[in-house]
Structure 1
Amino acid sequence: MKMTVWNSPTACRFALSGLIMAGVIACAPHYDPNAPALRTGYTCCNLHFEDDWISDGNYGENPFIAAGTPVKVYGYSGDCAYAEIGGRKMRLGHDYGRNEETLQHWVEKIVVTKDPKVRLAVFSPDVREAIRMGKVSGGMTKEQAIMAVGYPLTSETPSLDAPVWNYWLSSFDRYQLVWDKQGRMQVWADPGIKAKVVHSPGK
């Protein structure tokens, strides 16, 4: 199965200096294809990337790998893991949440053993379409929101029980998913950002 990728309309803005500070250069760029996989499974959710780098920042403006893409994790180096995702060599970078969780715990969150496409198939058509587009929509559950836009950064949202989840469209553009006590979700963001992250059926 080949990796499925949808491109964001906004150009990627990661700067090389920022990647160096985040520890990208310290991560091994290759893996031994003859080595046994340390973990196999599927992408938990839509994972945004630049080149071969998937960060826990998961900036929404970057293209993404679709939830349910097969993954094999071959090793760990510094603050990242190296893997094969949909037949492509990728690096999983634990850039921001190092103080809140270990690299291995983060990798176990984003590389799951059960294919999320099984769950995706039972969601409503509007929710399935939003997830396919990498966007959120009103009425989504926490499970569905994670599948659509990934986990919120643990450095900014240490617990999924928090009423506010923090996300970034880019390094400058933040939006928030706000949950009430009944688990209903609203999106808080500037209008321009909100228009890019919220799915409107029929558009």
Structure 2
Amino acid sequence: MFRNLSVFLLILPLCALLSGCAETIYPSVALQMPQGAKVYTAYNIWYENPADIPAVNYHKGKIIPFGTEIEFIGVTKAPLFFPNTGKIVFKVKETNEEFRIEYDQTWMLIPIEDYITRAFSIKNVSELSEGISKTNLERIKRGIVEEGMTRREVLLAFGYPVPHRTPSILDDTWIFWNERLDSVRVVFQKDKVIAILKLD
């Protein structure tokens, strides 16, 4: 009996250490938000299940349009033994619909705080789309990229390319995923799209 109790007392702290407590992340700090500022999606966020949105932004399902006003509910980074994962929970202000982004730094290659500064903005839809033609704006809202569009317009429509396939947005080729085994290559010449290629 005493031996079992000793084993239990040894295991208990280990379990507590392994489970740990998730670290709270403050988006207002990451975004350097002025007091009272509103927050918006910085690009189209695609999803099939609102409670399980991969941060890599597979281009499949419905779209939360860029410039959508949101409110953060909670952002957490996993405990000590799972340091590369986290969750971003927010709701769309207009509908109160709740969404959760599952973050995995192994795929994204940047800390969750840096991802927040990419995916969200204090600029509204008018500011984000300033100078974009009406035709391209309609394409962006529908998640469509075509030849002749700029890098900025592609970012609004598709979001950031898959980081481990496109290390820098200064590269002339960006890789996006429709799903894990279905990729699209967007090719630029300087600032304009010159080709969109489906990869098998």
TM-score (norm 1): 0.68
Kindly tell me the number of residue pairs found equivalent between the two proteins.
Answer: 156
SS of alignment partner, residue 179 of structure 2: coil
- For structure 2, the residue ranges without an aligned partner over 5 or more in a row are 1-21, 29-37, 79-85
Q: Which residue identity lines up with residue 44 of structure 2 in the other structure?
A: N
Q: Tell me if 1:185 matches 2:193.
A: yes
Deviation at 1:90, TM superposition (A): 1.1
Residues 38, 74 of structure 1: 8 Å contact kept: no
Q: Using the TM superposition, name which of 48-57 and 103-112 deviates more.
A: 48-57
- For structure 1, the residue ranges without an aligned partner over 5 or more in a row are 1-27, 29-36, 194-203
Q: Tell me if 1:134 matches 2:130.
A: no
| Match 1:82 to one of 83, 86, 89 | 89
- Map 1:155-166 → 2, pairs under 5 A: 155-166=164-175
Deviation at 1:116, TM superposition (A): 3.3
In the other structure, the counterpart of 1:64 is 63
Distance 2:59 2:111 in 1: 23
Distance 1:187 1:141 in 2: 12
SS of alignment partner, residue 104 of structure 1: helix
User: Greater share of helix residues, 1 or 2?
Assistant: 2
| Match 1:49 to one of 36, 47, 50 | 47
> In structure 2, do the counterparts of structure 1 residues 96 and 170 end up closer, same or farther at CA, with 3 Å as the change threshold?
farther
Greater Rg over alpha carbons, structure: 2
Moved over 6 A (4+): none
Deviation at 1:103, TM superposition (A): 0.8
User: Greater share of strand residues, 1 or 2?
Assistant: 2
Identity of matched residues, %: 22
In the other structure, the counterpart of 2:3 is none
Deviation at 1:190, TM superposition (A): 3.4
Distance 1:123 1:74 in 2: 32
In the other structure, the counterpart of 1:19 is none
